[in-house]
Structure 1
Amino acid sequence: MSEQMEENKEETAYHEAGHAVMGCVRERYPLSVSIVGDGKGVVGRTDFEDDLPPSVFRHFDQSETKKKYIRTRVLIEVAGTIAHDIKYPGRAHDEGDANDDRSARQFVTEGVHFEDDRDAYLASARQEAEDLLKKNWPLVEKVATALLERRELSRTELLEILAA
Protein backbone atom coordinates (compact mmCIF):
# COMPACT_ATOMS: atom_id res chain seq x y z
CA MET A 1 0.00 0.00 0.00
CA SER A 2 1.32 3.44 -0.86
CA GLU A 3 2.33 5.91 1.84
CA GLN A 4 -0.61 8.20 0.87
CA MET A 5 -3.12 5.33 1.17
CA GLU A 6 -1.69 4.37 4.56
CA GLU A 7 -1.96 7.96 5.77
CA ASN A 8 -5.60 8.08 4.61
CA LYS A 9 -6.31 4.82 6.45
CA GLU A 10 -4.83 6.32 9.61
CA GLU A 11 -6.97 9.44 9.25
CA THR A 12 -10.05 7.29 8.64
CA ALA A 13 -9.20 5.18 11.68
CA TYR A 14 -9.18 8.24 13.94
CA HIS A 15 -12.39 9.55 12.39
CA GLU A 16 -14.25 6.26 12.93
CA ALA A 17 -12.71 5.82 16.38
CA GLY A 18 -14.22 9.18 17.31
CA HIS A 19 -17.70 7.98 16.35
CA ALA A 20 -17.22 4.64 18.11
CA VAL A 21 -15.79 6.00 21.35
CA MET A 22 -18.47 8.68 21.57
CA GLY A 23 -21.10 5.99 21.10
CA CYS A 24 -19.60 4.02 23.96
CA VAL A 25 -19.24 7.08 26.21
CA ARG A 26 -22.94 7.84 25.59
CA GLU A 27 -23.90 4.15 26.02
CA ARG A 28 -25.00 3.69 22.40
CA TYR A 29 -22.58 0.93 21.58
CA PRO A 30 -21.73 0.45 17.88
CA LEU A 31 -22.44 -2.86 16.20
CA SER A 32 -19.20 -2.56 14.23
CA VAL A 33 -16.47 -0.16 13.12
CA SER A 34 -14.57 -0.45 9.86
CA ILE A 35 -11.96 1.31 7.75
CA VAL A 36 -12.58 -0.94 4.77
CA GLY A 37 -13.77 1.07 1.77
CA ASP A 38 -16.98 0.11 0.02
CA GLY A 39 -15.68 0.90 -3.47
CA LYS A 40 -18.27 3.68 -3.81
CA GLY A 41 -16.35 6.39 -1.99
CA VAL A 42 -17.13 5.48 1.64
CA VAL A 43 -13.79 4.76 3.30
CA GLY A 44 -14.94 4.04 6.85
CA ARG A 45 -18.09 3.23 8.71
CA THR A 46 -19.39 2.96 12.26
CA ASP A 47 -22.67 1.07 12.40
CA PHE A 48 -25.25 1.32 15.14
CA GLU A 49 -28.55 -0.47 15.59
CA ASP A 50 -31.33 0.92 13.43
CA ASP A 51 -33.84 3.16 15.08
CA LEU A 52 -36.32 5.83 14.18
CA PRO A 53 -35.36 8.36 11.51
CA PRO A 54 -34.93 11.94 12.70
CA SER A 55 -38.11 13.10 10.92
CA VAL A 56 -40.36 11.31 13.42
CA PHE A 57 -39.00 13.24 16.40
CA ARG A 58 -40.98 16.39 15.68
CA HIS A 59 -44.06 14.39 16.65
CA PHE A 60 -42.73 13.52 20.10
CA ASP A 61 -42.90 15.61 23.23
CA GLN A 62 -39.97 17.43 24.79
CA SER A 63 -39.27 14.63 27.28
CA GLU A 64 -35.86 14.23 28.88
CA THR A 65 -35.55 10.84 27.16
CA LYS A 66 -36.01 12.45 23.74
CA LYS A 67 -33.60 15.27 24.59
CA LYS A 68 -30.94 12.83 25.74
CA TYR A 69 -31.42 10.66 22.65
CA ILE A 70 -31.10 13.63 20.27
CA ARG A 71 -28.01 14.89 22.11
CA THR A 72 -26.40 11.46 21.92
CA ARG A 73 -27.05 11.15 18.20
CA VAL A 74 -25.69 14.64 17.49
CA LEU A 75 -22.58 14.02 19.64
CA ILE A 76 -21.89 10.76 17.80
CA GLU A 77 -22.33 12.40 14.38
CA VAL A 78 -19.90 15.25 15.10
CA ALA A 79 -17.36 13.12 17.00
CA GLY A 80 -15.70 11.63 13.91
CA THR A 81 -14.73 15.01 12.48
CA ILE A 82 -13.68 16.29 15.89
CA ALA A 83 -11.41 13.29 16.59
CA HIS A 84 -9.97 13.64 13.09
CA ASP A 85 -9.32 17.36 13.74
CA ILE A 86 -7.75 16.71 17.15
CA LYS A 87 -5.29 14.26 15.60
CA TYR A 88 -4.71 16.30 12.41
CA PRO A 89 -5.22 19.99 13.25
CA GLY A 90 -5.71 22.32 10.31
CA ARG A 91 -6.63 19.58 7.86
CA ALA A 92 -9.13 20.20 5.07
CA HIS A 93 -12.54 18.68 5.69
CA ASP A 94 -13.79 16.14 3.19
CA GLU A 95 -17.07 14.59 2.04
CA GLY A 96 -17.19 12.31 5.09
CA ASP A 97 -17.07 15.36 7.35
CA ALA A 98 -19.79 17.04 5.28
CA ASN A 99 -22.01 13.94 5.52
CA ASP A 100 -21.59 13.80 9.30
CA ASP A 101 -22.40 17.50 9.57
CA ARG A 102 -25.57 17.07 7.46
CA SER A 103 -26.67 14.19 9.68
CA ALA A 104 -26.05 16.17 12.87
CA ARG A 105 -27.95 19.16 11.46
CA GLN A 106 -30.85 16.92 10.50
CA PHE A 107 -31.12 15.64 14.07
CA VAL A 108 -30.94 19.19 15.40
CA THR A 109 -33.52 20.46 12.92
CA GLU A 110 -35.94 17.61 13.51
CA GLY A 111 -35.36 17.06 17.19
CA VAL A 112 -34.58 20.36 18.86
CA HIS A 113 -37.59 22.44 19.82
CA PHE A 114 -38.22 25.26 17.35
CA GLU A 115 -37.89 27.89 20.06
CA ASP A 116 -34.31 26.88 20.77
CA ASP A 117 -31.42 28.33 18.81
CA ARG A 118 -30.32 25.39 16.67
CA ASP A 119 -26.94 26.87 15.72
CA ALA A 120 -26.13 27.44 19.39
CA TYR A 121 -27.27 23.89 20.17
CA LEU A 122 -24.97 22.48 17.49
CA ALA A 123 -22.05 24.63 18.66
CA SER A 124 -22.51 23.50 22.26
CA ALA A 125 -22.77 19.87 21.12
CA ARG A 126 -19.50 20.21 19.19
CA GLN A 127 -17.80 21.67 22.26
CA GLU A 128 -19.19 18.89 24.47
CA ALA A 129 -18.01 16.26 21.98
CA GLU A 130 -14.53 17.80 21.85
CA ASP A 131 -14.34 17.86 25.66
CA LEU A 132 -15.49 14.23 25.92
CA LEU A 133 -13.07 13.04 23.24
CA LYS A 134 -10.13 14.83 24.82
CA LYS A 135 -11.05 13.34 28.19
CA ASN A 136 -11.24 9.88 26.57
CA TRP A 137 -8.38 10.33 24.08
CA PRO A 138 -6.52 7.19 25.21
CA LEU A 139 -9.60 5.18 24.17
CA VAL A 140 -9.68 6.90 20.77
CA GLU A 141 -6.00 5.97 20.32
CA LYS A 142 -6.69 2.34 21.29
CA VAL A 143 -9.57 2.00 18.84
CA ALA A 144 -7.72 3.73 15.99
CA THR A 145 -4.68 1.49 16.53
CA ALA A 146 -6.86 -1.63 16.56
CA LEU A 147 -8.60 -0.49 13.36
CA LEU A 148 -5.26 -0.03 11.63
CA GLU A 149 -4.24 -3.54 12.66
CA ARG A 150 -7.53 -5.35 11.99
CA ARG A 151 -9.44 -3.01 9.61
CA GLU A 152 -12.78 -4.03 11.19
CA LEU A 153 -14.02 -4.45 14.76
CA SER A 154 -17.21 -6.05 16.01
CA ARG A 155 -19.03 -4.67 19.04
CA THR A 156 -17.52 -7.43 21.17
CA GLU A 157 -13.99 -6.67 19.97
CA LEU A 158 -14.52 -2.94 20.48
CA LEU A 159 -15.72 -3.42 24.05
CA GLU A 160 -12.78 -5.74 24.80
CA ILE A 161 -10.34 -3.10 23.53
CA LEU A 162 -11.96 -0.37 25.57
CA ALA A 163 -11.97 -2.52 28.71
CA ALA A 164 -8.27 -3.47 28.39
Structure 2
Amino acid sequence: MKYFVNVTSLEELRKQYRRLAKINHPDMGGSAEEMKIINIEYEIQFKSLENSDTVANGIKYNKEQDAAIRGVINIIIHLNVEIEVCGSWVWVTGNTYACKDELKKNGFRWASKKKAWYWHDPKEATRSHGKTTMADIRMKYGSDVIKEANTVYCVTA
Protein backbone atom coordinates (compact mmCIF):
# COMPACT_ATOMS: atom_id res chain seq x y z
CA MET A 1 0.00 0.00 0.00
CA LYS A 2 1.45 3.32 -1.01
CA TYR A 3 -1.58 5.48 -1.82
CA PHE A 4 -3.95 5.02 1.14
CA VAL A 5 -1.50 4.59 4.03
CA ASN A 6 -2.89 7.05 6.61
CA VAL A 7 -6.57 6.68 5.71
CA THR A 8 -8.72 5.75 8.71
CA SER A 9 -12.30 6.22 7.50
CA LEU A 10 -14.35 5.57 4.40
CA GLU A 11 -14.88 9.32 3.90
CA GLU A 12 -11.11 9.93 3.99
CA LEU A 13 -10.64 7.03 1.58
CA ARG A 14 -13.11 8.51 -0.86
CA LYS A 15 -11.50 11.97 -0.69
CA GLN A 16 -8.03 10.52 -1.18
CA TYR A 17 -9.25 8.49 -4.18
CA ARG A 18 -10.72 11.61 -5.79
CA ARG A 19 -7.49 13.53 -5.22
CA LEU A 20 -5.44 10.72 -6.75
CA ALA A 21 -7.81 10.41 -9.72
CA LYS A 22 -7.26 14.10 -10.53
CA ILE A 23 -3.55 13.45 -10.87
CA ASN A 24 -3.27 9.88 -12.17
CA HIS A 25 -6.27 9.26 -14.44
CA PRO A 26 -5.15 8.57 -18.05
CA ASP A 27 -7.43 11.33 -19.35
CA MET A 28 -5.66 13.76 -17.02
CA GLY A 29 -2.16 12.85 -18.19
CA GLY A 30 -1.56 9.93 -15.82
CA SER A 31 -0.92 6.31 -16.72
CA ALA A 32 -3.49 3.54 -16.99
CA GLU A 33 -1.24 1.18 -15.03
CA GLU A 34 -0.94 3.61 -12.11
CA MET A 35 -4.70 4.09 -12.05
CA LYS A 36 -5.21 0.31 -11.95
CA ILE A 37 -2.90 0.10 -8.92
CA ILE A 38 -4.83 2.91 -7.23
CA ASN A 39 -8.14 1.13 -7.91
CA ILE A 40 -6.83 -2.16 -6.49
CA GLU A 41 -5.50 -0.44 -3.36
CA TYR A 42 -8.80 1.41 -3.00
CA GLU A 43 -10.76 -1.86 -3.04
CA ILE A 44 -8.41 -3.47 -0.50
CA GLN A 45 -8.56 -0.47 1.84
CA PHE A 46 -12.33 -0.21 1.37
CA LYS A 47 -12.83 -3.81 2.47
CA SER A 48 -10.70 -3.27 5.55
CA LEU A 49 -12.64 -0.13 6.54
CA GLU A 50 -16.08 -1.37 5.53
CA ASN A 51 -16.85 -2.97 8.88
CA SER A 52 -15.55 -0.04 10.88
CA ASP A 53 -17.45 3.18 11.58
CA THR A 54 -19.41 3.80 8.37
CA VAL A 55 -21.43 6.79 9.47
CA ALA A 56 -20.25 10.27 8.45
CA ASN A 57 -22.30 13.42 9.02
CA GLY A 58 -25.18 11.26 10.19
CA ILE A 59 -25.36 9.47 6.82
CA LYS A 60 -24.52 5.78 6.43
CA TYR A 61 -21.83 5.11 3.82
CA ASN A 62 -23.28 3.48 0.70
CA LYS A 63 -20.90 1.27 -1.28
CA GLU A 64 -23.13 1.04 -4.38
CA GLN A 65 -23.60 4.80 -4.47
CA ASP A 66 -19.84 5.34 -4.18
CA ALA A 67 -19.22 2.94 -7.07
CA ALA A 68 -21.85 4.72 -9.18
CA ILE A 69 -20.27 8.12 -8.52
CA ARG A 70 -16.81 6.82 -9.43
CA GLY A 71 -18.24 5.26 -12.60
CA VAL A 72 -19.93 8.49 -13.71
CA ILE A 73 -16.78 10.50 -13.05
CA ASN A 74 -14.66 8.07 -15.07
CA ILE A 75 -17.07 8.41 -18.01
CA ILE A 76 -16.95 12.22 -18.17
CA ILE A 77 -13.47 13.04 -16.88
CA HIS A 78 -12.13 13.53 -20.41
CA LEU A 79 -14.51 16.46 -21.05
CA ASN A 80 -13.19 20.02 -20.76
CA VAL A 81 -15.53 20.88 -17.88
CA GLU A 82 -15.35 21.34 -14.15
CA ILE A 83 -16.45 18.29 -12.13
CA GLU A 84 -17.41 18.66 -8.49
CA VAL A 85 -18.86 16.17 -6.01
CA CYS A 86 -21.12 17.50 -3.27
CA GLY A 87 -22.39 14.73 -1.05
CA SER A 88 -23.73 12.06 -3.40
CA TRP A 89 -24.29 14.43 -6.33
CA VAL A 90 -21.92 15.10 -9.23
CA TRP A 91 -22.07 18.68 -10.57
CA VAL A 92 -20.64 19.75 -13.93
CA THR A 93 -20.03 23.40 -14.80
CA GLY A 94 -18.00 25.45 -17.23
CA ASN A 95 -18.46 25.59 -20.98
CA THR A 96 -20.77 22.57 -21.21
CA TYR A 97 -22.66 23.46 -24.40
CA ALA A 98 -20.35 21.39 -26.61
CA CYS A 99 -20.79 18.28 -24.49
CA LYS A 100 -24.43 18.59 -23.44
CA ASP A 101 -25.50 15.57 -25.51
CA GLU A 102 -22.87 13.36 -23.88
CA LEU A 103 -23.91 14.58 -20.44
CA LYS A 104 -27.58 13.83 -21.21
CA LYS A 105 -26.64 10.40 -22.53
CA ASN A 106 -24.90 9.61 -19.23
CA GLY A 107 -27.86 10.56 -17.04
CA PHE A 108 -27.05 14.20 -16.25
CA ARG A 109 -29.81 16.78 -16.01
CA TRP A 110 -29.65 20.55 -16.39
CA ALA A 111 -30.32 22.76 -13.36
CA SER A 112 -31.24 26.10 -14.94
CA LYS A 113 -31.18 28.11 -11.69
CA LYS A 114 -27.70 26.84 -10.86
CA LYS A 115 -26.44 26.96 -14.48
CA ALA A 116 -24.96 23.49 -13.98
CA TRP A 117 -25.49 19.87 -14.95
CA TYR A 118 -26.04 17.35 -12.16
CA TRP A 119 -26.16 13.60 -11.66
CA HIS A 120 -27.42 11.71 -8.64
CA ASP A 121 -28.56 8.20 -7.91
CA PRO A 122 -32.11 7.91 -9.31
CA LYS A 123 -33.12 5.92 -6.20
CA GLU A 124 -32.23 8.88 -4.00
CA ALA A 125 -35.15 11.16 -3.18
CA THR A 126 -34.76 14.90 -3.61
CA ARG A 127 -36.46 17.31 -1.29
CA SER A 128 -35.66 20.91 -2.19
CA HIS A 129 -36.75 20.82 -5.84
CA GLY A 130 -34.14 23.36 -6.95
CA LYS A 131 -34.59 25.86 -4.14
CA THR A 132 -31.18 25.31 -2.52
CA THR A 133 -28.23 27.36 -3.76
CA MET A 134 -24.86 25.80 -4.66
CA ALA A 135 -23.29 27.66 -1.73
CA ASP A 136 -25.78 26.04 0.66
CA ILE A 137 -25.17 22.62 -0.89
CA ARG A 138 -21.40 23.02 -0.55
CA MET A 139 -21.80 24.17 3.05
CA LYS A 140 -24.04 21.24 4.03
CA TYR A 141 -22.38 18.35 2.17
CA GLY A 142 -18.89 19.61 1.47
CA SER A 143 -17.33 19.87 -1.95
CA ASP A 144 -14.59 17.98 -3.74
CA VAL A 145 -13.46 19.46 -7.04
CA ILE A 146 -12.47 16.46 -9.14
CA LYS A 147 -11.39 18.31 -12.24
CA GLU A 148 -11.11 21.90 -13.34
CA ALA A 149 -11.69 22.86 -16.96
CA ASN A 150 -8.65 23.65 -19.06
CA THR A 151 -8.64 27.41 -19.40
CA VAL A 152 -7.60 28.78 -22.75
CA TYR A 153 -6.54 32.42 -22.72
CA CYS A 154 -6.59 34.52 -25.88
CA VAL A 155 -3.70 36.94 -26.10
CA THR A 156 -4.06 39.83 -28.50
CA ALA A 157 -1.20 41.96 -29.69
TM-score (norm 2): 0.31
More helix as a share of residues? 1
Greater relative CO (CA pairs within 8 A, separation 6+) = 1
TM-score (norm 1): 0.30
Greater C-alpha Rg: 2
More strand as a share of residues? 2
